[in-house]
Amino acid sequence: MFRSFFFVCTFTLISLNAGPSSFADSPEQQSTDEQTHVRILTIGNSFTHNATRYLDDLVEAAGHKLTHKMLSIGGSPLELHAKKALALEADPASELAKYKNGDTLQETLKSEPWDFVTIQQVSFRSHDVTTYRPYALQLAEIIRRDAPQAELRLHQTWAYRSDDPRFSRAKPTVGEPATQQAMYEGLRDAYRTITAELSANRIPVGDAFWIADNDRQFGYQPPKNFDAQSLEYPSLPEQTHSLHVGYSWSKSDDKPKLKMDGHHANLAGEYLGACVWFECLYGESPIGNAFVPAKLDTQYAVHLQTIAHQAAQQGGDVVLGPVTSLSAAGKD
């Protein structure tokens, strides 16, 4: 279900045969009547689920086509995905190498002519660049060997909500970010570093979250002097323009219990993430896309589309549009 809204906008569509480019030097615009089919394989966890939940809808509304397969393990770091892949390298009969659906990474890489393959670090390690090594490289080498036509992208995840309990611990763990800003800056630098090491490109969802969270008009503002213990079911604190799930009630043994999830994206965050993915995969701005989830305010949705476009444009190392091969991209 979605609402449609229409206004004048211009789309930039990158040809399937085009090499790497940026907005500044992108090819001339093509007719939006031309359908682009993008094939992506995503390797990650719930944050990949979050950021791509509405990608199909955006693609359909733009008149394009998407083939998307996901190899996902809840809470999984790069290390776990790399260990599964390396288990198959050591033993072709290894059960450890298989995902829940019975597939292995290597089999999946060979199953489709993927345009993109994406990887991501688990969120609670995302600020620490040392946790990416050597696992990101190990995965990259297998991806480029078994899917040489695909372009490797790093899905840059986002910082937790500013009032997440992680940032209010009495005794923070040494090396752990103490604020949302510290987490964002850490993960931003880590993703950029590893992206450069792998000669790859980013999908800057984390940048988009940071820009949106700090917007003067639409940025999330945690309630002042909030005391979670004082809440009575079903009351909740003000959470307008939150990009994260935040506070909610659950019933355990028929007794309501207040929960806080400052990690995962809510509807607005999922929509923002999908808009970033859409632009980075199709080379087409999400501004003016007719798909808006039914429960998302239209004005706010337009704002999120604009933020996604801004993040994609500002991501100087983000290449727009599928490429036919790594050699075409100059990344042998």
Tell me what pLDDT residue 38 has.
Answer: 98
Q: Which range has the worst mean pLDDT, 106-115, 164-173, 196-205?
A: 164-173
- Please report whether residue 219 resides in a domain: yes
Does residue 92 fall inside a structural domain? Answer: yes
CB 121 within 8 A of CB 190: yes
Q: What is the mean pLDDT of residues 199-210?
A: 98
pLDDT score of 12 more than 90: no
Higher pLDDT, 106 or 12: 106
User: What stretches of 29-104 show up as alpha helix (H) in DSSP?
Assistant: 46-52, 55-61, 78-90
User: Which pLDDT band, with edges at 50, 70 and 90, does 25 fall under?
Assistant: very low
Q: Is residue 324 part of a domain?
A: no
Domain that holds residue 120: 2-224+266-314
User: Which pLDDT belongs to residue 169?
Assistant: 87
Q: Given this model, what pLDDT does residue 171 score?
A: 82
Structural domain includes residue 240: no
CA dihedral in degrees (277, 281, 287, 293; nearest 10)? -50
Tell me, yes or no, whether 206 lies in a domain. yes
* Per-residue tokens: 170: 């009495």
pLDDT at 330 over 50: no
- Look over the chain and give the mean of its residue pLDDT values, rounded to a whole number: 87
Phi, psi (5° rounding) for residue 44? -175, -140
Q: What CA–CA distance (Å, rounded) separates 76 from 62?
A: 32
User: At 173, is the pLDDT very low, low, confident or very high (cuts 50, 70, 90)?
Assistant: confident
pTM of this prediction?
0.86
β-strand 2-3 against 292-293: which pairing, if any?
antiparallel
pLDDT band of 172, cuts 50, 70, 90: confident
Query: Is residue 320 predicted with pLDDT exceeding 70?
Result: no
pLDDT-derived band at 33, boundaries 50, 70, 90: low
Checking if the pLDDT of 211 tops 90, the result is yes
State both tokens at 42: 């995503």
In a domain, 253, yes or no: no
Report the pLDDT value the prediction gives residue 251, as an integer from 0 to 100. 82
Judge whether residue 21 has pLDDT over 80. no
pLDDT higher than 70, residue 32:
no
Total structural domains within the chain = 1
Instruction: Report the pLDDT value the prediction gives residue 138, as an integer from 0 to 100.
Output: 98
Q: Indicate whether 69 belongs to any domain.
A: yes
pLDDT band at residue 89 under the 50/70/90 scheme:
very high
Q: What is the pLDDT of residues 277-292, one digit of tens each?
A: 999 999 999 999 999 9
- Does residue 235 form part of some domain? no
**Interior/surface letters 146-174, b for 16+ CB within 10 angstroms, e for the rest:** bbebbbbbbbbbbbbbbbbebbeeeeeee
CATH number of the domain enclosing 173: 3.40.50.1110
